[in-house]
Amino acid sequence: MSSTPGPAAIAKAAGRIVRDQPLTLRTDQAEYLELVLLAVITGVLAAMGNVGFRALIRLCGWLFLTMESRALGVERAFGRLLLPLVLLSGGAAIVLLDYLFPGEVLGYGFPNFLEMVNLGNARIHRAWIFIKAMGAALSLGCGASVGREGPIAQIGGAIGSTIAQSRSLSAMRSKVLVAAGAGAGIATTFNAPMGGMMFALEIVLLGETELANLILVLVSTFSAVVTSRGLFGNTALFHPAPFEVKSYWEMITYALMGGFLGALAAGYIRFFHASSAFFRRLQVHKWLKLGAGLAVVGVIAIVLPDNLSDGYPVIDLAFAGKLGAIMLGSLAAAKFVASSVSLGCGAPGGIFGPTFFIGTMAGGAFRQWCSFLLPGLTGPRGSYALVGLGAFLAGVTHAPLTAILLLFEMTRLDPVLALPAIVSTVTALIVAYGIERESIDTYSLAREGKSLAIGRERRLLTQLTTSSVITRQVQTVRANAPAAEVLALAGETSQSTLPVLDNQDFLAGLIVTRDLLSTLVGGVELGPLVNAYDLSRQNPPVLALESSLDEAAQLMDYEALEELPVVEHLGFRQGKFVGLVSRPSIAQAFNRVAVSLAATGTRDTSIFWATGYRVSQLRVPDSAQGKTLRELEPRARFGVSVLAVQGAGDPESGFSPIAPDQALNPGDLLLAAGRSADLRAFRRILDDTSG
The whole-angstrom distance between residue 487's C-alpha and the CA centroid of its chain comes to 50
Q: In angstroms, rounded to a whole number, what is the distance separating the alpha carbons of residues 136 and 116?
A: 20
The mean pLDDT value for 180-184 works out to: 90
pLDDT at residue 450 is higher than 70: no
Strands, E, within 243-356: which ranges? Answer: none
- What is the band of 689 on the pLDDT scale with cuts at 50, 70, 90? low
Q: In what order do the strands lie in the sheet with 577-582?
A: 543-544, 563-567, 577-582
- What is the band of 338 on the pLDDT scale with cuts at 50, 70, 90? very high
Q: Are residues 570 and 625 in the same domain?
A: no
pLDDT at residue 84 is higher than 60: yes
Q: Residue 395's pLDDT is what?
A: 94
Q: Are residues 544 and 660 in the same domain?
A: no
pLDDT at residue 234 is higher than 80: no
Q: Where are the alpha helices (DSSP H) in 573-615?
A: 583-600
| DSSP secondary structure letters along 50-92 | HHHHHHHHHHHHIIIIIIIHHHHTTTSTTGGGGHHHHHHHHHH
Q: In angstroms, rounded to a whole number, what is the distance separating the alpha carbons of residues 381 and 202?
A: 30
Q: Residue 330's pLDDT is what?
A: 93
Q: Are residues 567 and 647 in the same domain?
A: no
The answer to whether 212 touches 29, Cβ cutoff 8 Å, is: no
Residue 353 lies in a domain: yes
- In whole numbers, what is the pLDDT of the chain averaged over residues? 82
Describe the crossing of helices 549-559 and 583-600 by its angle, rounded to 10 degrees. 150
The residues near 19 (Cβ < 8 Å, ≥ 6 apart) are none
Q: Are residues 140 and 175 in the same domain?
A: yes
CATH number at residue 508: 3.10.580.10
Does 573 or 454 have the greater pLDDT score? 573
Let me know how long the chain is: 691
Q: In angstroms, rounded to a whole number, what is the distance separating the alpha carbons of residues 193 and 219?
A: 9
Q: Residue 357's pLDDT is what?
A: 93
- Partners of 613 in the beta sheet? 675
Q: Residue 93's pLDDT is what?
A: 93
The mean pLDDT value for 393-417 works out to: 83
Q: In angstroms, rounded to a whole number, what is the distance separating the alpha carbons of residues 618 and 52?
A: 46
| Separation in Å, CA 90 to CA 40, 55, 61, 216, 332 | 36, 17, 10, 39, 24
pLDDT at residue 571 is higher than 80: no
Q: In angstroms, rounded to a whole number, what is the distance separating the alpha carbons of residues 188 and 371?
A: 36
| Separation in Å, CA 218 to CA 181, 285, 347, 398, 411 | 11, 44, 32, 21, 20
The answer to whether 298 touches 87, Cβ cutoff 8 Å, is: yes
The mean pLDDT value for 315-338 works out to: 90
Q: In angstroms, rounded to a whole number, what is the distance separating the alpha carbons of residues 404 and 358?
A: 17
φ, ψ at 566 (rounded to 5°): -120, 135
Residue 594 lies in a domain: no
SS (H, E, C) 140-183: HHHCCCCECHHHHHHHHHHHHHHHHHHCCCCHHHHHHHHHHHHH
pTM: predicted TM-score of the whole model, two decimal places: 0.66
pLDDT at residue 20 is higher than 70: no
pLDDT at residue 296 is higher than 90: yes
pLDDT per residue as tens digits for the range 585-609 = 888 777 666 655 554 444 444 444 5
The residues near 485 (Cβ < 8 Å, ≥ 6 apart) are 477, 532
Q: In angstroms, rounded to a whole number, what is the distance separating the alpha carbons of residues 182 and 113?
A: 10
- What is the band of 523 on the pLDDT scale with cuts at 50, 70, 90? low
Residue 415 lies in a domain: yes
pLDDT per residue as tens digits for the range 455-465 = 555 666 766 77
The mean pLDDT value for 538-558 works out to: 84
Q: List the one residue out of 497, 513, 574 whose CA is nearest residue 543.
A: 574
Q: Are residues 529 and 617 in the same domain?
A: no
Q: In angstroms, rounded to a whole number, what is the distance separating the alpha carbons of residues 667 and 210?
A: 35
CATH number at residue 424: 1.10.3080.10
The CA angle 249-252-253, to the nearest 5 degrees, is 105
The answer to whether 249 touches 377, Cβ cutoff 8 Å, is: yes
Q: In angstroms, rounded to a whole number, what is the distance separating the alpha carbons of residues 162 and 182?
A: 13
Q: In angstroms, rounded to a whole number, what is the distance separating the alpha carbons of residues 91 and 287?
A: 8
Q: Are residues 376 and 480 in the same domain?
A: no
- What is the band of 615 on the pLDDT scale with cuts at 50, 70, 90? confident
% of the chain surpassing 70 pLDDT = 85
pLDDT at residue 235 is higher than 80: no
CATH number at residue 613: 3.30.70.1450
Q: Residue 190's pLDDT is what?
A: 83
The answer to whether 393 touches 399, Cβ cutoff 8 Å, is: yes
Burial 619-657 (b: 16+ CB within 10 A, else e): ebbeebeebebeebebeeebbbbbbbbbeeeeeeebbbb
pLDDT at residue 305 is higher than 80: yes
Q: Residue 76's pLDDT is what?
A: 79
User: End of a domain among 417, 435, 456?
Assistant: 456
- What is the band of 610 on the pLDDT scale with cuts at 50, 70, 90? very low
DSSP 685: H
pLDDT at residue 18 is higher than 50: no
pLDDT at residue 522 is higher than 70: no
Q: Are residues 67 and 116 in the same domain?
A: yes
| Separation in Å, CA 596 to CA 45, 354, 638 | 32, 43, 20
SS (H, E, C) 550-571: HHHHHHHHHHCCCEEEEECCCC
Secondary structure of residue 509 in the 3-state scheme? strand
pLDDT at residue 688 is higher than 90: no
Report the range of poorest mean pLDDT among 440-444, 590-594, 642-646.
590-594
Residue 145 lies in a domain: yes
The mean pLDDT value for 226-242 works out to: 78
Q: Are residues 450 and 467 in the same domain?
A: no
Q: Are residues 330 and 365 in the same domain?
A: yes
- What is the band of 263 on the pLDDT scale with cuts at 50, 70, 90? very high
DSSP 441: T
Q: Residue 607's pLDDT is what?
A: 47
The residues near 449 (Cβ < 8 Å, ≥ 6 apart) are none
- What is the band of 667 on the pLDDT scale with cuts at 50, 70, 90? confident
Residue 22 lies in a domain: no
Burial class (CB in 10 A: 0-12, 13-18, 19+), 359: buried
% of the chain surpassing 90 pLDDT = 20
Residue 536 lies in a domain: yes
The mean pLDDT value for 18-33 works out to: 58
pLDDT per residue as tens digits for the range 137-170 = 999 989 888 988 888 888 988 998 889 888 877 7
Q: Are residues 73 and 121 in the same domain?
A: yes
The mean pLDDT value for 330-345 works out to: 93
Q: Are residues 406 and 281 in the same domain?
A: yes
- HSE (side-chain half, CA atoms, 13 Å) at 610: 0
Domain range for 130 is 33-232
Domain total in the chain: 4
User: End of a domain among 456, 489, 522?
Assistant: 456
φ, ψ at 643 (rounded to 5°): -90, -40
Q: Are residues 559 and 612 in the same domain?
A: no
The CA angle 285-344-328, to the nearest 5 degrees, is 140
φ, ψ at 657 (rounded to 5°): -60, 150
Residue 365 lies in a domain: yes
